[in-house]
Structure formats: C-alpha cells, structure tokens
Amino acid sequence: MTLGSLRYREFRRRLAEGLVLGLPPYRIHVRSPLPRVAEGLYALYRDYPIYPDETCPDYRVALDMPPWRRWLRPQVQFLFDGFTPFKPLPADQAHAMFEWGINWCIGNHDHTRVIVHAAVLERGGRALILPGVPGAGKSTLTAALCQEGFRLLSDELCLIDPDNLHITPVPRPVSLKNASIPLIQQRYPTAVFSEPANDTLKGTVAHMQPPADAVQRAFEPAAPGLIVFPRYIAGHATDWQPLERHLAVLHSVEQSFNYNLHGPRGFDTLVALAKASHCHRLHYSQLDEAIPLLQAKLDHWTPPTAEDAA
C-alpha cells in the first residue's frame, strides 16, 4: 500500500497518530499533527509504501510544536524517539526539518555501511558518486541528472557496503536552495516541489519529488562507476580532469559521517571504492554540457586499469 493511495484527510489523521513509512531501505515511524508536514509528505512521498504498525521500524521520529511556542512566533521541533537532537526551527520549516532529521538519523544510526555525504545516481548499473562540498552545486546537478536519464539513489547519502562495495539507494526528495529552485522549476516544469521554506540557515529551501523509477527500483543497488567532485563556477568552460586516487579517498574521508567509527574497515572500503571507480573533477557552468558529458562517461564505462590506479 502506498502513501498516495490514502486520501489526504485520512493520511493526515493517521500521520497525527503516527504511521510507518517505508523509506527504503529503512522503515520509519513518523508522527506529526502539523499540516505543513502532512502537506510536504503527501506531495513528495506518494509513491512510498506504508506498513502496518506492528512492524519494528528503524527509527521513530516526530515533528511537533513545543507547547510554549504554538502561537507566538510558532516553532517546530524534531524528536528522535522522544529526544530532541536539534534546536527548534520556525514552524514554516517543519517539512524541511523532517528531511534534515531523517538524514541525521541515518548518518548517526546506521553504521552497517560506510556513509559519505554525497549524491549518488546510476546509469547502466554503475554509480555516479558526487561528494558534496557545500556550495559546489551538487544538488542542482543531481536534480537535473535524475530528470535526464539517471536513476536517483540519493542526493545526500552514499551508503557503501564494505563487503561488496554496492551502493544502497536511499531515494528521497532532492533538496534545492535559493536560485536553484526556479532554475530547476523552469527547466523541468512537470517536477513536483514542496512549499519553499524561507530564511533557513541555508537560505530558501525547497524539496523536489524524486522520479517514480527511483522509488520503484529502490532495492536495486549500484556498482562503483565514477567519483566526481563537481564545482559550479559561473561562466566557466566545462573542464573534466582526472583526480588522483589518493585525493579522491582523502576528500571522501572528509565527507564521511561514520568513517571514524569503522576503523581499518572504513579505510579499506573507501580505498577499494576509489580503486573500483574513475575519479574526476568537473568544473562547469552549463548543465547542457555537463549532463551529456556524464552520460557519455557512464555509457562508455570500462573497469579502471592498474595504470588508472597509479
């Protein structure tokens, strides 16, 4: 049963009591009486499964207003099984806070995999990993790629299985900021967006619904393909440069949520991932050049040779 098969009023009632939402590979118990959260989830998570309450979810989260901040400058707080890991935010950021909170849950409470802060897309079974330095334009590129022939695995979390280097999808809405929002809306007029949250720490934030195939194929992992460090530079010509493998590993370590907990296994995983991938830097200003380039690189992908690895 998918969330979208419920009528909105029924969904809102069940959300207020708490319901188990499948965010593959996780099951998350979500409770919120707030219309803002209900609207955001109903708009963006229609294709996701919901489960009966008897299951054991991975995490239990709630979004609610602290009783003393319901009327005067209302605020929302994120609860992880009754515990508040963050300070409250203005109430109009309630849905954005859900998305950030879920990222926090996964980054802090799933150490079955090595997790790198990166967007991941897939084409022909091969992963395109885009580690995120804030402001590099990773999300904009991700939003465009998943509308143009790439399957979205995640826009934030690259979950690497240490045993076989498979990348597990966690398809979720893509977070866009400021000028990227109208840019993507104009480029893809049919894409569905959440109501933007203004004046967040990151400026204006809106979330884009993931394409349906990303959710339907959420249990199909991808094999390593490319690790690309993108950077949007206004007016810059498209520049595709190989990146030395050790640098790709070091940058991945910097972007990892739980590398430090995995010990030697974490190191071995990130080294093996870099060795199984082609590592590059991409400076660009035109999506119309960057996207075909990345398509061609994955369509003509061959396993890295020992020379590549030098």
Partner 1 sequence: MNRLAVVDALLQPERCSDWPASRWDAAIRQARSSRLLPSLAARFEADQLPDLPAVRRAFATATVSGTATATRMRWELDQLVPALQRAGVRPLILKGAAYLAAGLPASRGRLFSDIDLLVPRARLAAVEDSLRFAGYVSTHLDNYDQRYYRQWMHELPPLQHMQRLITLDVHHNILPLTARAKPDADKLLAGAVPVAGTPFWTLQPADLLLHSICHLFYDGEWDHALRDLWDIHQLLQHFGREPSFWLELPARAAALDLARPLAYALATVQQVFDTVIPAATSDACAAALPAHADAMLALFQAALRPVNPSCRRQRDDLARFAVFVRGHYLRMPLHLLLPHLLRKALRRDDEDDAADRPAPAREQ
- Using CB under 8 A, which of 86, 212, 250, 303 touches partner 1? 86
Site string for partner 1, 26-45 (x = CB under 8 A): xx------------------
DSSP-derived secondary structure letter, 36: H
CB of 109 to partner 1, least distance (A): 6
- CB 94 to partner 1: min, Å: 17
Rounded Cα–Cα distance for residues 277 and 245 (Å): 9
Q: Does 109 bind partner 1 (CB under 8 A)?
A: yes
Using CB under 8 A, count the residues that bind partner 1.
28
Beta strands in 233-288 (DSSP E): 239-242, 278-284
d(C-alpha 247, C-alpha 229), whole Å? 11
Nearer to partner 1, 10 or 81 (CB): 81
- Write out the binding residues for partner 1, residues 242-301 only, by CB under 8 A: 257-258, 260-263
Nearer to partner 1, 82 or 235 (CB): 82
Q: Which of 66, 85, 182, 292 binds partner 1 (CB under 8 A)?
A: 85
- Residue 163 carries which DSSP code? T
Query: What is d(CA 197, CA 40) in angstroms, rounded to the nearest whole number?
Result: 11
Candidate residues 11, 48, 98, 104; the one interacting with partner 1 per rule CB under 8 A: 104
Q: Which of 20, 101, 19, 11 is nearest to 63 (CA)?
A: 101
**Under rule CB under 8 A, residue 12 binds partner 1:** no
**CA-based end-to-end distance of the chain:** 50
89 DSSP β-pair partners: 76
Distance (Å, rounded) from C-alpha 250 to C-alpha 247? 5
Q: Which stretch binds partner 1 (CB under 8 A): 51-59, 196-204, 235-243, 247-255?
A: 51-59
Q: Does 138 bind partner 1 (CB under 8 A)?
A: no
**Two structure tokens written together for 45:** 């998570």
- β-bridge pairing 278-284 and 223-232: parallel
Distance, C-alpha 175 to centroid of its chain: 8
The smaller minimum CB distance to partner 1, of residues 100 and 229, is found at 100
Using the rule CB under 8 A, is 82 a contact of partner 1? yes
Instruction: Name the DSSP letter for residue 195.
Output: P
With a CB cutoff of 8 Å and minimum separation 6, the contacts of 79 are 61, 62, 63, 64
Interface with partner 1 includes 198 (CB under 8 A)?
no
Stretch that binds partner 1, among 68-76, 84-92, 144-152, 280-288 (CB under 8 A): 84-92
Regarding 111 and contact with partner 1 (CB under 8 A), the answer is yes
Single out the segment in contact with partner 1 by CB under 8 A; choices: 53-61, 205-213, 239-247, 275-283.
53-61
Taking the complex as a whole, the smallest distance from the CB of residue 202 to partner 1 amounts, in Å, to 14
- Residue closer to partner 1 by CB (options 81, 199) is 81
Shortest separation between residue 57's beta carbon and partner 1, angstroms: 6
Q: Using H for helix, E for strand and C for coil, what is the string for 172-193?
A: CCEEEECCHHHHHHHHCCCCCE
| CB within 8 Å of 267: residues ≥ 6 apart | 259
- Nearest to partner 1 of 257, 301 (CB atom): 257
Binding site for partner 1 (CB under 8 A): 25-27, 54-58, 60, 81-83, 85-87, 104, 107-112, 257-258, 260-263
